[in-house]
Amino acid sequence: MSEIKREKKIALSQQEEKLLEIIHETGFGEIKIIINDGKPIRVEEIKKCIKL
């Protein structure tokens, strides 16, 4: 039997888009995300790690 691939398109909220920007800009480190009702509310702390 052949497998049917289904693409699920999700519309991102403004908060989700901003979160993705923060993740891409961080590069290395830790990000703690506060979520309410399935939506990111805020990034509480960011710790950057620098490789030596």
Residue 41 near residue 35 (C-beta atoms within 8 A): yes
Token pair listed for 6: 């289904």
d(CA 37, CA 23): 21
Residue 28 lies in a domain: yes
Please answer whether residues 20 and 10 qualify as being in contact, where contact means their C-beta atoms are separated by less than 8 angstroms: no
Has residue 46 got a pLDDT over 70? no
* Residue 4 forms part of a structural domain: no
- Residue 23's domain comprises 14-47
Q: What is the pLDDT of residues 16-34, one digit of tens each?
A: 999 999 889 887 778 889 9
Q: How many domains does the chain have?
A: 1
Identify the pLDDT of residue 1.
59
Q: pLDDT band at 40, cuts 50/70/90?
A: very high
Residue 1 lies in a domain: no
On average, the pLDDT of the chain sits at: 84
